[in-house]
Amino acid sequence: MRLSTTGGRQTIPFHVPVHAAKYAGLPVLTADLLSKHGRWYLHVVVTLPTPDVEPIAAVVGCDLGITRAAVTSDNRFHGQRRWRALEARDFRLRRALQKKGTRSAKRHLKKLSGRTGRRRRDHDHVVSRRIVDGLPGGAVLAVENLTNIRSRVKARRANGGQRRLHAWSFASLRAMLTYKAEERGIRVEGIDPRHTSQTCSRCGFVSRANRRSQAAFYCRSCGFQLNADLNGSRNIAAKLLAGRATSMTGGVPSSTLSCPASSVPAEAQAASL
């Protein structure tokens, strides 16, 4: 790397992390030199080559949740339950330090903030990588458009749920999903999130009462029961398919393109509820 310094232009060696080595030699868009905690980092944005992958018809819905980081319509649950416990622990520690208010407490708060941010980014990387690696090349990943979700959520949500919602890094996860998917020729498309959690993925009946709890879905019309996030992910996939059918038929919805409720192994349901 060549840099202009007060002593003239100099060649400075730098280390490329193992996970980024595959991008070496690609066309560079931008390069920024950053300083953090006394160390210097070179942030380079490169242009990825267009993947040689043919698009396929497969559509997988992805429900980004709070209880589980993500659930996909192919019956896969991503993320670990212990992550919620880690968030709760950090929240209690943060509240205690804020209440204390000493200089030492403020220093600990700063360290805690950095540690929490790093852990959340790591979780987002883990989840997005597992989702993308489980999809066939050329498929479509359907996700909800969650712009301004915090301002749209009603104030009646319980304090614990409201806190988890504000700690939820869905924008970061969506961004990581997008760029990881592009490498494999997978398109990430957004859909309107309205009613995806209240609709029965089997019969299409919509009711708030269908959502028995944060984890359980029970259709008041046909009696269908499923993990609520898995049911939502199927509705997300079906909504994208329905939108495509509507555009293809000139605004007339087609009932032939739906997302059937495939059977879920008993052990998968038991692990998710």
What's the pLDDT tens digit per position in 33-77?
Answer: 888 878 888 888 888 888 888 888 899 999 987 778 899 999 999
Residue 173 forms part of a structural domain: yes
Residue 98 forms part of a structural domain: no
Residue 106 forms part of a structural domain: no
Residues 156 and 33 reside in one and the same domain: no
Residue 90 forms part of a structural domain: no
Asked if pLDDT for residue 159 goes beyond 50, the answer is no
- Distance separating alpha carbons of residues 72 and 167, to the nearest angstrom: 21
Residue 91 forms part of a structural domain: no
Q: Which of 7, 24, 4, 68 is nearest to 268 (CA)?
A: 68
Residue 102 forms part of a structural domain: no
pLDDT at 180: 92
Asked if pLDDT for residue 261 goes beyond 50, the answer is no
Q: What is the mean pLDDT of the chain?
A: 82
Q: Which of 208, 214, 201, 61 is nearest to 144 (CA)?
A: 61
Cβ atoms of 150 and 165 within 8 Å: the answer is yes
Residue 238 forms part of a structural domain: yes
Q: Which of 68, 81, 82, 79 is nearest to 227 (CA)?
A: 68
Domain count, the chain: 2
Residues 266 and 146 reside in one and the same domain: yes
Residues 12 and 37 reside in one and the same domain: yes
Residues 36 and 72 reside in one and the same domain: no
pLDDT at 62: 95
pLDDT in tens, 172-212: 888 899 989 988 899 999 999 899 999 999 999 999 999 88
Show the tokens assigned to 97.
């330090």
Residues 266 and 143 reside in one and the same domain: yes
Residues 26 and 129 reside in one and the same domain: no
- Distance separating alpha carbons of residues 59 and 138, to the nearest angstrom: 10
Residues 38 and 149 reside in one and the same domain: no
Residues 6 and 69 reside in one and the same domain: no
Q: How many C-alpha atoms does 226 have within 13 Å on its Cβ side? A: 26
Q: Which of 67, 83, 164 is nearest to 122 (CA)?
A: 83
**DSSP state, residue 19:** G
Q: How many C-alpha atoms does 243 have within 13 Å on its Cβ side? A: 13
- Distance separating alpha carbons of residues 91 and 160, to the nearest angstrom: 10
Residues 67 and 176 reside in one and the same domain: yes
User: Which has the higher per-residue pLDDT, 131 or 15?
Assistant: 131
- Cβ-based neighbour number of residue 127 at 10 Å: 22
Residue 72 forms part of a structural domain: yes
Name the residue range of residue 252's domain: 59-79+121-272
Show the tokens assigned to 215.
């984890």
Query: Which are the contacts of 70, defined by CB distance < 8 A and separation ≥ 6?
Result: 62, 63, 64, 78, 79, 127, 131, 173
Residues 199 and 251 reside in one and the same domain: yes
Residues 30 and 146 reside in one and the same domain: no
Residues 20 and 71 reside in one and the same domain: no
- Distance separating alpha carbons of residues 33 and 259, to the nearest angstrom: 47
